[in-house]
Amino acid sequence: MKILIMMILLTSIMFMFMMNPLSLLILLITQTFIISLLSSLLISSFWYSYMLILIMISGLLIMFMYMTSIASNEKFNFSFKYMILMLIIMPFIFIKNEKLMTMKMINLNNINMMENLIMNKLFNSKFIIPSIMLIMLLFVMMVVISFLVSSSEGPMRKSY
């Protein structure tokens, strides 16, 4: 669990140094996988994380399609200096902050005892209406975006 939190922090910090849309997309996809893995470990159900991955990856792929049609072909620059700097700084952050190292805020025994309550919060009757509204909104957005993309016969950017 500590390693996953460390990886989330590392990808968040690396996100600030990336400039290329392709590298940003790869970083977002890896962070989505890490967060879904962490949520599946905390909730003890992979359905929620599976839905999270499907929704996030589909949205990211639509954004990637839009960015590749508009953005020019930029050179992929990756600086190993920043990567080494991140790898050196991250352990010091965890050593300094003992609360993250001991992980007293997340006790695995309490998570196992409250497993039924956590699943009950996800699929409670109070959250059915917002969940259905969110599903309908995502469906409408998918249909609208597919009509917008299919109606143009060429690239979305203008040729000068």
For residue 56, is pLDDT > 70? Answer: yes
Can you tell me which residue has the tokens 């991955």?
53
What average pLDDT does the segment 141-145 reach? Answer: 81
Domain boundaries, the chain: 2-151
Half-sphere exposure at residue 63, Cβ-oriented, CA atoms within 13 angstroms: 13
For residue 51, is pLDDT > 60? Answer: yes
For residue 22, is pLDDT > 60? Answer: yes
What average pLDDT does the segment 98-127 reach? Answer: 56
The kind and range of the H/E element at 91 are: helix 80-96
pTM: 0.56
CA 43, CA 27: separation in Å to the nearest integer? 24
Q: Burial code of 27-59, b = ≥16 C-beta within 10 A, e = fewer?
A: bbbebbbbbbebebebbeeeebbeebbeebbeb
How far, in Å, are 26, 81, 112, 148 from residue 17 at the CA level? 13, 11, 38, 32
Give residues with Cβ within 8 angstroms of 1, minimum separation 6: 38, 41, 103, 106
CA 14, CA 16: separation in Å to the nearest integer? 5
Between residues 51 and 91, the one the model is more confident about: 51
* H-assigned helices in 44-79: 46-70
Lowest average pLDDT, out of 33-37, 135-139, 152-156, goes to 152-156
